[in-house]
Structure 1
Amino acid sequence: MSSTLKLENPILAPGSLILITGCNGLIGSHCVDQALAAGYTVRGTVRSISKNSWMLDFFKERYGDGKFSLAEVPDITAPNCFDEAAKDVAAIAHTAMFMDFSKQLPQEVIPPTVESVMRGLEAASKTPSVKSFVLTSSAWAAMFPSPDTPGLVIDTDSWNTQAVTDAWDLEKEKHPANLYAASKVEAEKTLWKYVEEKKPDFVVNVVLPSTVLGGILAPKYQGIPSTAGFVQQCFNAKKKEDLGFVLTFCLPQWFVDVADTGRLHLAALVDPNCKSERIFGYAETYNWDKVVDVIKKIDPKGEHVGDLGQGKDLSECKAAKRGEEILKECFGKGWTGLEDSVEENIKSFVLGEVKKEGGWSSGM
């Protein structure tokens, strides 16, 4: 299989070993897929190998024997937890995250998230073969969406510091994802402080995906996880009330396709022109009315929810162009559009015959 990578001088030689933490997740699994498609080998970490052994057969069938292996890391905050998995790797993509929406106190979420990032950086610093490191951050580390608000500008210096302030104000009513956003802000700032103070020998970049939609690699085993599950909920909804949590949790904002997100992570590891960058995965703005319109176009005979009356994200993301430049340079194509991404999303649960609704929920 020829490499999907178009770079003439990647930092990592073909066949190099890449460590991808949290490789069973929506983003992590696509990072694995893109790395293997580009001709690299991958070692992925999961909390339990027995629960994720399907990945070994899945990627063997897809790319051949000896390309993918698993390492078990039960606690991604424990001291030295990634050290063994990082042995002899050329690069690390740290996509694993500490996320539990049942936890409501900042001290239960923010410090463990920061600790996990530090464990990844420490493992990289102990491994002489590591040439590059990329962290999965979030668009919400830069700014929360604010529909119908003109004049908002997002750039590489944007930080959602209000989320951090609000997180530690236990009396204040907050966005359902406030702790998640605050933890991403603090984790990413910790990473950049580490880079400034330690000046590691390896390249460090960060990818900030907006709402991630698109196809799921193995819905039989993964279900329809994370924000991709919200498309399934829109597909199944008959009335607006069926989408209460989705509409509250994900206000109109920017989106990015999950395969593009995987490509951005790989580019952050191999592109010699990417150094100390915050790479924004912002393809285009969307709201759930747009998603429902695509659903109705794909399934015109189905019974689907009516107008949701959502507003629009009017923000300008100055850094979005750079993200697309990186995709074109490394892979020869730019952003995947919303319609194509939603169509792949729908194929995942229709063709995969996934009946149970996925996505995050208010009960998590």
Structure 2
Amino acid sequence: MSASQLVLVSGASGFVGTAVTLAYLEAGYRVRGTVRSQDKADAWAKKHANAFKDGQLEWAIVKDIAAPGAFDEAIKGVDIVAHTASPFHFDVKDNEKDMLIPALEGTRQCLRAAQKEPSVKRVVLTTSFAAVMDFDRLGPDTTFSHKDWNPATYETAKKSDNPSYVYCASKKIAEEEAWRIAKEPETKWSLSTVAPPMVFGPPLQVINSLDSINTSSGAVWAVVDSKEVPPASFPVGTDSRDIAKLHVLASTTDEGKDQRFLAIAFHYDNNQVAEIARSFPELKDRVPGPSDGAAAQPHFKTDSSLVEKTFAGWKWTSFEQSTKDTLAEILKVEKQLK
């Protein structure tokens, strides 16, 4: 594929979306990012002014990714679609309105637009380990791989009172819909999906307050200024830069075509996060000592070897490096905001 091709990155100003956008720009591709407002686009471009050349980055305003025809204009002339936009939070008051519909319809509208645009040749979707895992099989005897699917359904998620279950179901339902659309006879592009777990890595999106930091970065920062080290939100992680690199490879190489990549680099607990945080002079007095409640508990195993088998020479960013870079960037943001 030619690096002069145009990539549409949905949700380009978000945490994962920013990493993905930067990865395509670094690889020499032209990028059109979707954002909800011009203000968001301007702030992002100002923050990353050194990351792109003149004419390499443009913006499309998509206020509601779930609206009918949301991507019809944004997708014109695009060669590659990287759909990263989807809700990731647990503040769910209405399961359908706040989580299920935005995830499903956002994916559906993006891929339907891609069906109608003859220039589109490849699509890569950011899904999640949430689409792979099974809440009833989280014990140490289970090994999850790219072949596994969350058994949750729209109907069970609609009725659930567990926000985590609803979120996981939304990712499964959206990815399932993507593969269904990809198999329709009118679809002329190839689909690949990337399924990360908890995403570590430096938050490089525009951050106006630490209270509004993305959910996964906030989970890493949770060891700071806490009375005791809290349990990890989820015991498996991957660096955002690895996730971004996988999006590029999955959408631009022959090997990456038609693949579903489970992308888990490490298993961890929050005592390990806290230990690394205490190595920062600025944080050593802001992080409590080890907590029994934060120690690693027996849990499932994971197999992400398809990534290594598909892309020769692939190496994951280590837990230690990813955690250090995450904390260093949040510290930097904290100082800037003060």
1:47 paired to 2:36: yes
> Following superposition of structure 1 onto structure 2, how do residues 82-231 of structure 1 map, counting pairs within 5 Å?
82-99=71-88, 101-108=90-97, 109-143=99-133, 149-162=139-152, 166-170=156-160, 173-174=161-162, 176-198=163-185, 200-218=187-205, 220-221=207-208, 224-231=213-220
Aligned residue in 2 for 1:302: 285
- The answer to which structure, 1 or 2, has the higher relative contact order (CA under 8 A, 6+ apart) is 1
Q: Aligned with 2:107: secondary structure?
A: helix
Deviations 1:88-126 (A, max 9, x none): 111000001145644333322213321111111111111
Q: Match for 1:343 among 314, 321, 324? A: 324
Q: Aligned with 2:182: secondary structure?
A: helix
C-alpha distance in 1, partners of 2:284/2:178?
49
How many residues are treated as equivalent by the alignment? 332
Deviation of residue 24 (structure 1)?
A: 0.6
Amino acid of the structure 2 residue aligned with 1:181: C
C-alpha distance in 2, partners of 1:180/1:41?
32
Cα RMSD, aligned residues only: 2.6
Aligned residue in 2 for 1:316: 301
Q: Aligned with 1:305: secondary structure?
A: coil
TM norm structure 1 = 0.83
C-alpha distance in 1, partners of 2:41/2:256?
32
Q: Aligned with 1:133: secondary structure?
A: strand
Q: Aligned with 1:304: secondary structure?
A: coil
Identify if the C-alpha distance between structure 1 residues 213 and 233 changes in structure 2 by more than 3 Å, giving closer, same or farther.
same
Q: Which deviates the most, 63-72 or 84-93?
A: 63-72
C-alpha distance in 2, partners of 1:200/1:162?
27
C-alpha distance in 2, partners of 1:301/1:101?
30
Instruction: Please say if residues 285 and 313 of structure 1, whose CA atoms lie closer than 8 Å, have aligned partners that are also in contact.
Output: no
Amino acid of the structure 2 residue aligned with 1:254: V
C-alpha distance in 1, partners of 2:314/2:148?
27
Deviation of residue 278 (structure 1)?
A: 1.2
Aligned residue in 2 for 1:15: 4
Identify if the C-alpha distance between structure 1 residues 165 and 213 changes in structure 2 by more than 3 Å, giving closer, same or farther.
same
Q: Which deviates the most, 294-303 or 22-31?
A: 294-303
Deviations 1:27-48 (A, max 9, x none): 0000000001111110000111
Aligned residue in 1 for 2:222: 233
Unaligned runs of 5+ in 1: 1-11, 357-364
Unaligned runs of 5+ in 2: none
C-alpha distance in 2, partners of 1:283/1:150?
18
C-alpha distance in 2, partners of 1:289/1:271?
39
Q: Which deviates the most, 116-125 or 345-354?
A: 345-354
